Amino acid sequence: MTIVFKISDNLKPKLIKYYEPLKKEKTPPYAVFQAQEADTTITLYESGKVMFQGISADIDANIWLDLEKKLNNRDIDITGKEKKEKPKKEFDYHLNNYNTMGSDEVGTGDYFGPIVVTATYVAKENQSFLRELKVGDSKKITDERISEIAPQIMQKIPYITLKLDNETYNKYYNQELNMNKTKAILHNKVLLALLEKDFKPEKIVVDQFVNSRKYYEYLNDVPQKVTNIFFTPKAEDQCLAVACASIISRYVFLKEMKALAQLLGHDIPKGAGPQVDKFKEAIVKEKGQEYLTKIAKINFKNTNKK
């Protein structure tokens, strides 16, 4: 996998400092810096473009894509094209004027815990109920509020949820089945399962994590696929079905993390930052390195950090 995008000037020194311990002595032509992080090669070019190559390229790239979004208000997809603030023409209409089906996932950026993907069907007559609950993007809602409203949504709104546990994820993850392909397969499964219940959505919406061409390419070997999908960035803010899917996925993920915390006797940090590294070391000392395959995504670089 190769991901290239132009990094902002204020992030260049941060990137170099972050990967300094892994710096290569020699750099390719027109490059100012190159490092090797496990199975990913990171190259910063004179042009300002940064390239991530390797099995876990998407994981390393997402660190800097997230920082671009938080620090510079830049929303860049993994093809390197900056997303426009205005939606494309095909999304000029209000998605919530239709009976919609939507899907979203949680856990792909968390070292510990499963990946959870949900699809929901929201009929127009249920939209007022959801607006009363102030349904929106789960990332903008506290965990406490998620725990309050998710059960209410799950009682009223049809949904399908799939959980990909860590052992299965670790067994099959490789260069051919990377994170984005995994997400595409899971999204397709939940959408297909919900459609098989005979719901008739006027629009099917997925929060865009790759362009549509690549998404369908990931599904080449899948015998049945949902193809009439509208992909859009920040779909949780545009489509109540995607927002519901986001909330339910988050709720299920939190329950799984709570169960894992009870099993381990420790609260588990979310994400993939320094606190996660410390917790990982404590678990390795207590239960051994092999235990990580049961509770963590071992292709994340946290696995090899000391």
Q: What is residue 251's predicted lDDT score, i.e. its pLDDT?
A: 96
Q: How many CB atoms lie within 10 A of CB 142?
A: 9
Q: Which two tokens stand for residue 47?
A: 């042009």
Q: What is residue 62's predicted lDDT score, i.e. its pLDDT?
A: 84
Each residue's pLDDT tens digit, 119-178: 999 999 998 899 888 887 667 788 899 999 999 999 999 999 999 999 999 998 887 788
CATH code of 89-258, in short, is 3.30.420.10
Q: Which two tokens stand for residue 25?
A: 């002595």
Residue spans of the domains in the chain: they are: 2-72, 89-258
Each residue's pLDDT tens digit, 273-295: 889 999 999 999 999 999 999 99
Each residue's pLDDT tens digit, 129-142: 998 888 876 677 88
- Give the per-residue SS3 of the chain: CEEEEECCHHHHHHHHHHHHHHECCCCCCCEEEEEEECCEEEEEECCCEEEEEECCHHHHHHHHHHHHHHHHCCCECCCCCECCCCCCHHHCCCHHHCCEEEEEEECCCCCECCEEEEEEEECHHHHHHHHHCCCCCHHHCCHHHHHHHHHHHHHHCCEEEEEECHHHHHHHCCCCCCHHHHHHHHHHHHHHHHHCCCCCCCEEEEECCCCHHHHHHHCCCCCCCCCCCEEECCHHHCCHHHHHHHHHHHHHHHHHHHHHHHHHCCCCCCCCCHHHHHHHHHHHHHHCHHHHHHHECCCCHHHHCC
Q: What is residue 56's predicted lDDT score, i.e. its pLDDT?
A: 77
Residues in the chain: 306
C-alpha to C-alpha distance for 257 and 219, rounded to whole angstroms: 29
**Homologous superfamily in CATH for domain 2-72:** TATA-Binding Protein (3.30.310.10)
Q: What is residue 91's predicted lDDT score, i.e. its pLDDT?
A: 30
C-alpha to C-alpha distance for 198 and 158, rounded to whole angstroms: 11
Q: How many CB atoms lie within 10 A of CB 237?
A: 13
Q: Which two tokens stand for residue 14?
A: 């941060």
Q: What is residue 81's predicted lDDT score, i.e. its pLDDT?
A: 54
Tens-level pLDDT at each residue, the chain (306 residues): 788 999 999 999 999 998 888 888 888 888 899 998 877 899 999 888 999 888 778 888 888 888 888 888 888 766 545 555 444 433 333 677 889 999 999 999 999 999 999 999 999 999 889 988 888 766 778 889 999 999 999 999 999 999 999 999 999 888 778 899 999 999 999 999 999 998 999 999 998 888 899 999 999 999 999 998 999 888 888 899 999 999 999 999 999 999 999 999 989 999 998 899 999 999 999 999 999 999 999 999 899 887
Q: What is residue 93's predicted lDDT score, i.e. its pLDDT?
A: 36
Q: What is residue 233's predicted lDDT score, i.e. its pLDDT?
A: 85
> Which amino acid would we find at residue 196?
E
Sheet holding 159-164, edge to edge: 159-164, 115-122, 100-106, 203-207, 230-232
C-alpha to C-alpha distance for 197 and 180, rounded to whole angstroms: 26
Same topology, domains 2-72 and 89-258? Answer is no
C-alpha to C-alpha distance for 169 and 167, rounded to whole angstroms: 5
Phi, psi (rounded to 5 degrees) for 272:
-145, 30
Q: Which two tokens stand for residue 224?
A: 């049945």
Q: What is residue 138's predicted lDDT score, i.e. its pLDDT?
A: 66
